Amino acid sequence: MQILFILEIIGTIAFAISGAIVGIQKKMDIFGVSILGLTAAVGGGILRDLILNITPPAAFQNPAFAATAIVVSILVFIPAIRNVFEHGKKFYEALILIMDSIGLGLFTVVGVQVATAAMPERNLFLITFVGVLTGVGGGILRDVFAGNTPYIFIKHFYACASIIGAWTCALLWPYTGSVTAMIAGAALTVVLRLLAARFRWSLPKAK
């Protein structure tokens, strides 16, 4: 499915940039930056495929995604480009927010699509769970490798945006078709994520 491949490539680029930026912020070398970009880009998909018993995971069947993530991470590491990312805290935070939001939305609906195709009978809970895991899994692994508290546990309602987007996509799927459902789910996820950051929407936290 061509649209699926395009969405995955765009999501891979977005998450690879976010992972590479975190590696640069942590003062890692080029190998560390590349691993963080790779992990953010394909980690969620690998976890998804293992749960759905798709072996080997798609990231190993088609090297295009891993290669794209590594190339993007290396490009981000180049001093001329790296200096742009390091120019000002607000610019850095805005860029990682946008890239993370795009990756989150796209990978969430890709996860819904893969789960729907892999299951003989629709299970809304599992489809939604797999969609969310695809969206947030790479970011969790990225943050763990970087020594940070995973973003989804402390920032606004990052995972909740993915849950709502995945659920919307899964519900619309039988009625609107795959393309419309995926566009709606991805767009809703991205919009909610950006609105949450803009208006400081947060879940209750332990005091």
| 157 falls within a domain | yes
pLDDT at 89 over 90: no
Structure tokens at 29: 């070398």
Q: What is the pLDDT of residue 4?
A: 76
CA separation for the pair 16, 146 (Å, rounded): 14
The neighbour count for residue 29, using CB atoms within 10 Å, is 9
Q: What is the pLDDT of residue 86?
A: 63
Are 12 and 73 in contact by the 8 Å Cβ rule? The answer is: no
Confidence grade of residue 65 (pLDDT, cut at 50, 70, 90):
very high
pLDDT at 1 over 90: no
Q: What is the pLDDT of residue 57?
A: 93
CA separation for the pair 4, 27 (Å, rounded): 34
Structure tokens at 139: 């970011």
| 47 falls within a domain | yes
Tokens 């419309």 belong to 180
Q: What is the pLDDT of residue 54?
A: 92
* Cis amide bond preceding 56, omega within 30: yes
| 170 falls within a domain | yes
Q: Which domain holds residue 47?
A: 2-199
Are 163 and 128 in contact by the 8 Å Cβ rule? The answer is: yes
Taking the model in full, what pTM does it have?
Answer: 0.89
Number of domains in the chain: 1
| 164 falls within a domain | yes
| 207 falls within a domain | no
With a CB cutoff of 8 Å and minimum separation 6, the contacts of 5 are: none
| 184 falls within a domain | yes
Q: What is the pLDDT of residue 154?
A: 78
Q: What is the pLDDT of residues 104-141, one digit of tens each?
A: 999 999 999 999 999 878 899 999 999 999 999 999 99
| 206 falls within a domain | no
Tokens 């998804």 belong to 48
Are 39 and 33 in contact by the 8 Å Cβ rule? The answer is: no
Q: What is the pLDDT of residues 136-180, one digit of tens each?
A: 999 999 999 999 988 788 766 789 999 999 999 999 999 999 999
Query: What is the residue-averaged pLDDT of the chain?
Result: 90
With a CB cutoff of 8 Å and minimum separation 6, the contacts of 166 are: 108, 109, 111, 112, 127, 128, 131, 132, 135, 185, 189
| 205 falls within a domain | no
